[in-house]
Amino acid sequence: MNDLDAMQAQAAADFAAAPTAAELENAKARYLGKAGRVTELLKGLATLSGDEKKTRGAEINRLKGGIEAALQARREALAQAELEAQLKAQALDVTLPGRQRGDGGLHPVSRTIERIEAIFGSMGFDVAEGPEIETDWMSFTALNNPENHPARSMQDTFYVDVKDAEGRWLNLRPHTSPMQVRYARAHAASHAGTEPMPEIRVIAPGRTYRVDSDATHSPMFHQCEGLWIGEHISFKDLKVVFTDFLRRFFEDDGIQTRFRPSYFPFTEPSAEIDMMFAAGPLKGRWLELAGSGQVHPNVVRNYGLDPERHIGFAFGMGPDRLTMLRYGVNDLRLFFENDLRFLSQFR
């Protein structure tokens, strides 16, 4: 091996050993730079003469070409390796499942309310919503609770020290019964002069508030009011409608209901409605489900109607309790803690 072949081999080895592009350029300078070994060889040509210079010059040029080729090859290899490393680092596994938002679902109590609306809707009941902040008149006075009458304390109302623009006391409604009055008054007004007035048939679900808190009571809970006013609507209709509702709601045609005498200022007579399942774990036990009664004549008068002519029933039930019974939930507070482990079971 002559000196030039040895230098060519040395350069190729140096290039191969350079792990990065920067080190490769340093190695290049050692051969091809201003003071590089090939450059030095070329400078040495000046001392030669004639033919010698020609032959040696050609050999050095061949060497230079060989070194440049080795350099270029190494440059390409390094660039390729770098590209591959980069691609590997940024690798995207297109077969991974995407990040999903997760399936949402309705709250179990909302599902119950929708179910109540669907069943009563199929029986011709309208659905109404009303304010949760009510006037004292709507929550009590219109419902035949005389001011300062002890019956007002039947409900553990959240009284607030606030009046509205017209100077009326406000409260968080303790029941949905004010909706009887709101809906019936609007109905009577919009059908004024229509003879006979179309019947009032409405349910009004929504949030209600009382100072009460344990496993079966929450300061915020739900009620659903029902009202059917016509010219001949009686307890008999209430029993048919409510029993039919329960059988459809719980999908149990053997459900029985009974009325138990009770007292509400706004109904006379008044009754609690109890139900009994024909099957399942609660079979054979009477369960209290709703308050109800024939609407009191004073209340019908506050609807803006003549109690001699317009009669009917009202009831108030608890969608929270219906939900507990339907799904076998034993603590009402679970509905309002918003623990997803609980709620996601109802999706």
Which residues of this chain interact with ligand PHE, rule CB under 6 A?
175, 177, 264, 267, 291-293, 314-316
State whether the Cα torsion 73-74-75-79 is positive or negative. Answer: positive
> In the complex, what is the shortest distance from the CB of residue 202 to ligand PHE, in angstroms, rounded to a whole number?
12
Comparing CB distances to ligand PHE, the nearer of 157 and 323 is 157
Cβ proximity of 69 and 62 under 8 Å: no
> In the complex, what is the shortest distance from the CB of residue 226 to ligand PHE, in angstroms, rounded to a whole number?
7
Residues 6 or more apart whose CB falls under 8 angstroms from that of 243 comprise 255, 256, 257
> In the complex, what is the shortest distance from the CB of residue 177 to ligand PHE, in angstroms, rounded to a whole number?
4
> In the complex, what is the shortest distance from the CB of residue 272 to ligand PHE, in angstroms, rounded to a whole number?
9
Cβ proximity of 307 and 301 under 8 Å: yes
Cβ proximity of 206 and 236 under 8 Å: no
Comparing CB distances to ligand PHE, the nearer of 67 and 204 is 204
> In the complex, what is the shortest distance from the CB of residue 136 to ligand PHE, in angstroms, rounded to a whole number?
15
Residues 6 or more apart whose CB falls under 8 angstroms from that of 131 comprise 173
- Nearest-CA neighbor of 140 among 110, 114, 177? 177
- Nearest-CA neighbor of 261 among 271, 246, 276, 251? 271
Cβ proximity of 227 and 181 under 8 Å: no
Cβ proximity of 313 and 228 under 8 Å: yes
314 backbone dihedrals φ, ψ, rounded to 5°: -135, 155
| Number of residues that make up the chain | 347
Comparing CB distances to ligand PHE, the nearer of 267 and 302 is 267
Q: What is the CA radius of gyration of the chain?
A: 45
**Pairing status of strand 256-264 against strand 159-163:** unpaired
> In the complex, what is the shortest distance from the CB of residue 340 to ligand PHE, in angstroms, rounded to a whole number?
31
**Pairing status of strand 267-276 against strand 169-172:** unpaired
Comparing CB distances to ligand PHE, the nearer of 108 and 318 is 318
> In the complex, what is the shortest distance from the CB of residue 260 to ligand PHE, in angstroms, rounded to a whole number?
12
Comparing CB distances to ligand PHE, the nearer of 199 and 268 is 268
Comparing CB distances to ligand PHE, the nearer of 8 and 267 is 267
286-287-290-296 Cα dihedral, nearest 10 degrees: 30
Comparing CB distances to ligand PHE, the nearer of 293 and 319 is 293
> In the complex, what is the shortest distance from the CB of residue 114 to ligand PHE, in angstroms, rounded to a whole number?
21
Comparing CB distances to ligand PHE, the nearer of 8 and 177 is 177
Residue nearest to ligand PHE (CB): 316
Structure tokens at 305: 């109607």
